[in-house]
Amino acid sequence: MNHATGKDEAALHAGFMKVWGNPRGWRAATIVNHTVVGIRFMVTGGVFFLMGGLMALLMRTQLALPEQNIIGPELYNQLFSMHGTVMMFLFAVPALEGLALYLIPKMIGARDLLFPRLGAFGYWCYLFGSIILMSSLVLGIAPTAGWFMYTPLTNAVYSPGPNADFWLLGITFIEISGVSSGVELVVSILRSRTPGMALLHMPLYCWYILVMALMIVFGFPPLILGSILLELERTAGMPFFDVARGGDPVLWQHLFWLFGHPEVYIIFLPAAGIVSTLLPVFANRPIVSYRWIVLAVIATGFLSFGLWVHHMFTVGLPQLAQVFFTMVSMLVAIPTGIQIFVWLATLWTGRPVYQVPMLWLIGFLFIFVAGGLTGVMLAMVPFNWQAHDTHFVVAHLHYVVIGGMLFPFVAGLYYWLPHFSGRMPSDKLARWGFWLTFIGFNTTFLVMHLTGLLGMPRRVYTYPRGLGLDLPNSISSIGAFIIALGVVTVLLDIALHFRFGRPAGSNPWHADSLEWATSTPPEPYNFISLPANPTRHPLWQQPDLQKTVAEGRHTLSEISHGRRETWGTDPITGKIREIIHLPGNSWLPFFTALTLSVVCISLLVRTYTIALIGVCLSLVLLMRWSWINGAHPGAAPNAEVKPGYPPLHSRTFDGPGLWGIVITLAADGALFLSLLFALFYLWTVAPHWQAPATLPLNWLLLLASGGLLSCAAFWFNRVVRRLRKGTDAGLQIQLWLIALLGIAHCVLLIWVWTDSTLAATLNAYDAVISFMLMYQLFHSGLAVIMTLLQALRVAYGYVGKAAPYEVAVVEPWWLFTTLIFWISFVVIMLPSAIAGGV
Amino acid sequence: MRLLKLKRRNDRSKLTIKSYGTPVNHLSAMQAGGENRYRRKQREIQKPGLKAAAVIKTQQPVERGQPQPHHSQQRMTLREGPANARRKEQFYSPLKAYPPAGQTTNAFRNTADNGFSRHDRSVAPRMRNALPVIRHLASAAPILILFFLGGCNGPQSALNPAGPSALAASRLWWGMLSVSTLILLLLVALWLYAMWRKPKTLTVEEIRRINQRWIIGGALALPIVIIAVLLSFGIPMGYRMLPLPLAGQKPLKILVTGRQWWWEIRYPGTDIVAVNELHMPAGVPVDVHVTSDDVIHSFWVPRLAGKIDMIPGRTNILRLEADAPGQFRGQCAEFCGLWHAHMVLMVKVQTQEDFKAWLESR
């Protein structure tokens, strides 16, 4: 392709910085660049890790001796609830996502992620949500019911204060940020790899992140749904989990673990991805079996959705279900085993060098394998009945999570430190840090297995003398402080290396992947020119890549147009399809997240008018957000590209937005499926379930409403088809009319609802159906708003034959809305159809 | 003077108890505080108990107008059956706040206080002042080995089985532990050897073969064999633990209801209602039917069997069997709110004759 030789490096850099540069001062809140956002995620996650660690130290102090009363049960319950919540939602997922956000574009040779504003928005949501959640601890009203929030303990009767609301609202807020990062990562990995990087040329880390991001997309919605339902039960009295009114508390457990078990793999997979990246570099050879690893990662992703019930073996489930879930739980050992043995074979056949990151990887292997083995034990039902909800499980989960996430993460931190800062850490301090953490960890948690089997349940703030629990608990407490010492040493090392570390130079570990072809620390644009990359180990094959990239010898090194550009490539082959232009820095993500956090807070204090104002305000901001797109002067008004280059993505039908909406709808679909699961679960299991024999609403009107919706969706589809053929005659008027149809549909739907005999607070069936109608209205309403916006944009000339891209993005939303309508319709008709009384 | 604050939480009259600094025996607090619903409830529970003196009450309600005695000096009134009819008064330390069970009978209290733990005795007179942890460890050092050998014998230890279910589970544990330890050590040894052995120059074909050997042998064959073996042991074992119908006999049925934060035990066919103490005969299977009246609890007597959740709206059945008479401590295993740590159950296993006599004497 384009080999523009001899360009002036400094001039190129200056030109790129004009377009890509990050502002300083208070304007830094507008930065959307993935390098900055990724580092912000990691640093914020690190701060929460320290807070969670402090909570753990407080708890271990309380448990150090029997019958202590340093911390009473009220505070202790807050501490263990927040410790789990903080470590899972505020540290592990965001920190790993942050690392992925930082690395992925660099590894696949792109300049940024494809939805930079969404990434920044995700960060602000995470930050504000976390602050709201942590403020509850400061106010002394933190959640007290554990990170698993089992009902009925968390319903309005047994948790009347705002404690549980903090969890439900705060975590939902943070999870939405998680899902948005997940969508962004999936689309970026699939659509913005450097030219020629086929799917099987991607660094393994990208595979891991791809699977993790997809797992987030499908795994978070069940909990988001569960949290919304529980919050509705608490505030509006809709009885989804109340036995007496036809709900079932075990439904919450299903929804929670439907999320909760994939969650474990969501934090394990990226960490394993770090192992698969580092190990070959330190073994001085490629990984021996790339395809086996890819297969294992995908298999893990699938299996992890089929074993949530092993958290619920003591609930009293049917024997067959227990056997099935035991087997699936054990099967997951196979893909994990494949990865471990591929790593072993890589070391065996390579020429390993012994560096600090390797030390952490050895620690990982020992701890994680031990945790995996106790996991297999716990999958054995007879043993599970003894060990479940004891300190044995506490030990097991820390082995898995600290071994499987923290150790590889720290290994990765040491490995990429030179990339972040351009300097090397101190070898001596690093070794001290490792050994303290490793020894402290095993001191704390090895003996804890025994503590559990000796009869110590989880989540107790104290224990009596005379049960034989005194000594093991004291040992664990001492170990906890040794871990703290280790963590402090590592932090000290990292802090000092910024000042005293020796310069790393480029590619200090002699690594193979593209992220080391940027400068260290990297510039906001990553690469001046984007290299074609048809191999798995670009830097081993072209050691001078960094130089040629910086000299602009590869593609897309023009900047005079003032656009942020990166390649849009084929998801499988990596062939170039179009140029993707990316939005620049913006206040919108910050302010949208801010208004949403106002909504969150006003829901917490139950001032619903302010919440409504906040929702409207954030809707306006979001509309403004989507306004500055495509042919808008703030985006890419001029579609001219260099001769020989493909068009800009906003001038095609195949941009990242289409992929983004499809993945988002996949998450939405997962939420809808969870809702159907909830309905059928209650229908078949809840002891006092009552589905009415007569329809609670006017089905003819409902049918008419669905007819209008289907017409609108069909019409929209036709408009897009005509647009694809190159005709945009009457586009604007058609969009207005479609929106009108949609409005008529919404009005009818509201009529049906207000006219119905649904008593959402009296029984669970009515509550679920009401929620379904709400869900439908939300989607129909958004479809209308988006269509109106498109019609307006046609009027402004931002959308049309020349820039047809956005109309195509809205189309899947219409189709999805129609689909869920008809499924809901069938579900609503079902009980009376069964009773024969339509 | 400790402050007790009782607050009506809502119309369902759940109680929030705020104690300033000290754990409170909430049950006695409830009664002492004179909260109406609980008084009523207590009366209901007592009612059959007045006929059947087996009801072990934790405390007598304090009359209104009577000064509230200091908690630790409250008097426990125990009613015992004619078998050992005597009245005992005992002092109850607030620090020993696993109230109801610990105070039930005199014999019980003794064991709970000093008899139970073997290593506790060897750690000897404990001092609760300066640097307790260090003192603790210093005195513990010589018994560290003892601890790992004999440390499993606590009164609530799943590794000190006293019934067939618990025995099976503990055997399963020791078996799995030994195999797992072997695998772990092997894997780490291989890994370390791979890192530090002298690298060889290998051909592509050799590398492929080594890799295949590892994946097929280590990652496929090894786990599949282990899973097969485990399942072939585990599934029948789990099956035998279920409350299956028995040939020729009907297991004794006991109803246990969990409440925040106490246990109510009933024997169908009798009007016995016991609180926090479950009597059962040795040597025969007993089916415990558990449910909950408020939040989710979990019934767990580690020395006899695994646990089962107590969920409002449904009844789960757990098969218990004790080999010999004795006392076994149990504890709620599902987090159930503020005083979860103190929701303790004592299981008193008697010989079949004694149990029959106990049952009939009510």
| Chains A–B, number of C-beta pairs less than 8 Å apart | 320
Asked if B306's CB is within 8 angstroms of A289's CB, the reply is: no
Smallest CA–CA separation between A408 and chain B, in Å?
16
For A544, other C-beta atoms within 10 Å of its C-beta total 10
Which two tokens mark A471?
Answer: 């000594």
d(Cα A43, Cα A98) in Å, to the nearest integer?
9
Mean pLDDT for the stretch of residues A125-144: 95
Query: For chain B, how far is it from start to end, CA to CA, in angstroms?
Result: 40
Mean pLDDT for the stretch of residues A259-268: 94
pLDDT of A416: 96
Asked if A230 and A149 touch (Cβ cutoff 8 Å), the reply is: yes
For residue A400, give Cα distances in angstroms to A52, A275, A365, A369, A433.
Answer: 17, 15, 10, 8, 20
A370 touches chain B (CB under 8 A): yes
B44 touches chain A (CB under 8 A): no
Per CB-CB distance under 8 Å, the chain A contacts of B158 are 386-387, 390, 453-455
For B105, other C-beta atoms within 10 Å of its C-beta total 19
Asked if A350's CB is within 8 angstroms of B168's CB, the reply is: no
A681 touches chain B (CB under 8 A): no
Per CB-CB distance under 8 Å, the chain A contacts of B147 are 471
Whether residue A534 has pLDDT greater than 90:
no
Sign of CA dihedral A459, A465, A469, A473: positive
Per CB-CB distance under 8 Å, the chain A contacts of B226 are 376
Smallest CA–CA separation between B298 and chain A, in Å?
8
Chain A residue with minimal CA distance to B135?
A474
Per CB-CB distance under 8 Å, the chain A contacts of B29 are none
Give the A window 225-244 contacts with B, CB below 8 Å.
243-244
Asked if B296's CB is within 8 angstroms of A350's CB, the reply is: no
Give the A window 464-503 contacts with B, CB below 8 Å.
464-472, 474, 477-478
Per CB-CB distance under 8 Å, the chain A contacts of B170 are 386
pLDDT of B58: 39
Per CB-CB distance under 8 Å, the chain A contacts of B220 are 334, 337-338
Chain A residue with minimal CA distance to B110?
A466
pLDDT band at A417 (very low <50, low <70, confident <90, very high): very high
Mean pLDDT for the stretch of residues B164-180: 95
Mean pLDDT for the stretch of residues B301-314: 95
Chain A residue with minimal CA distance to B305?
A386
Asked if A810 and A716 touch (Cβ cutoff 8 Å), the reply is: yes
Asked if A342's CB is within 8 angstroms of B231's CB, the reply is: no
Whether residue B150 has pLDDT greater than 70:
no
d(Cα A113, Cα A257) in Å, to the nearest integer?
31
For residue A680, give Cα distances in angstroms to A353, A765, A775, A822, A828.
Answer: 56, 10, 17, 17, 12
Mean pLDDT for the stretch of residues A668-696: 92
pLDDT of B54: 38
Which two tokens mark A372?
Answer: 């995996």
Per CB-CB distance under 8 Å, the chain A contacts of B162 are none
Q: What is the largest CA-CA distance in chain A?
A: 85
Asked if A65's CB is within 8 angstroms of B133's CB, the reply is: yes
CB-CB: which of B151, B220, B309 is closest to A315?
B309
The DSSP output letter for B216 is I
pLDDT of B151: 64
Question: Given its phi and psi angles, is residue A631 left (phi above 0), alpha (psi -120 to 50 degrees) or beta?
Answer: alpha
H helix or E strand, kind and range, residue B89: none
CA triple A431-A432-A435, angle to 5 deg: 85
By percentage, how much of chain A surpasses pLDDT 70?
99
d(Cα A416, Cα A790) in Å, to the nearest integer?
44
pLDDT of B42: 39
Q: What is the pLDDT of residues A751-770, one digit of tens each?
A: 999 999 999 999 999 999 99
A384 touches chain B (CB under 8 A): yes
pLDDT of B362: 75
B15 touches chain A (CB under 8 A): no
Per CB-CB distance under 8 Å, the chain B contacts of A454 are 151-152, 154, 156-159
Let me know if A18 is exposed, middle or buried by CB neighbors in 10 A (0-12, 13-18, 19+): exposed
By percentage, how much of chain A surpasses pLDDT 90?
87
Q: Which residues pair with B317 in a beta bridge?
A: B289
Whether residue A616 has pLDDT greater than 50:
yes
d(Cα A529, Cα A548) in Å, to the nearest integer?
8
pLDDT of B5: 39
Asked if A153's CB is within 8 angstroms of B296's CB, the reply is: yes
CB-CB: which of A388, A455, A478 is closest to B157?
A455
pLDDT band at B170 (very low <50, low <70, confident <90, very high): very high
- Mapping DSSP onto H, E and C, the string for A68-135 reads CCCCCHHHHHHHHHHHHHHHHHHHHHHHHHHHHHHHHHHHCCCCCCCCHHHHHHHHHHHHHHHHHHHH
Smallest CA–CA separation between A330 and chain B, in Å?
7
Chain B residue with minimal CA distance to A160?
B9
pLDDT of B148: 55
pLDDT band at B13 (very low <50, low <70, confident <90, very high): very low
pLDDT of B7: 39
Q: What is the pLDDT of residues A441-496, one digit of tens each?
A: 999 999 999 999 999 999 999 999 989 999 999 999 999 999 999 999 999 999 99
pLDDT band at B147 (very low <50, low <70, confident <90, very high): low
Strand locations in B1-102 (E): 4-8, 15-19
Per CB-CB distance under 8 Å, the chain A contacts of B230 are 330, 376, 380
Query: For chain A, how far is it from start to end, CA to CA, in angstroms?
Result: 67
Which two tokens mark B346?
Answer: 């004592």
How high does pLDDT run on average in chain B?
70
- Least Cα distance to B161 among B152, B49, A710 occurs for B152
Q: What is the pLDDT of residues A695-737, one digit of tens each?
A: 889 999 999 999 999 999 999 999 999 999 988 889 999 999 9
Mean pLDDT for the stretch of residues A575-596: 95
A837 touches chain B (CB under 8 A): no
Residue of B185, B233, B296 to mutate for A, most A C-beta atoms under 10 A: B296
CB-CB: which of B306, B313, B341 is closest to A243?
B313
Mean pLDDT for the stretch of residues A163-188: 94
Asked if B333's CB is within 8 angstroms of A390's CB, the reply is: yes
- Least Cα distance to A193 among A644, A654, A576, A655 occurs for A576
pLDDT of B196: 87
d(Cα A60, Cα A394) in Å, to the nearest integer?
13
Whether residue B57 has pLDDT greater than 50:
no
Q: What is the pLDDT of residues A823-836, one digit of tens each?
A: 999 999 988 888 76
Pairing mode, strands B316-320 and B4-8: unpaired
Q: What is the pLDDT of residues A64-81, one digit of tens each?
A: 999 999 999 999 999 999
pLDDT of B94: 34
Whether residue B72 has pLDDT greater than 90:
no
A570 touches chain B (CB under 8 A): no
pLDDT of B199: 82
pLDDT of A184: 96
How high does pLDDT run on average in chain A?
94
pLDDT of B207: 87
pLDDT band at B11 (very low <50, low <70, confident <90, very high): very low
Per CB-CB distance under 8 Å, the chain B contacts of A388 are 306-307, 333
CB-CB: which of B21, B202, B308 is closest to A314?
B308
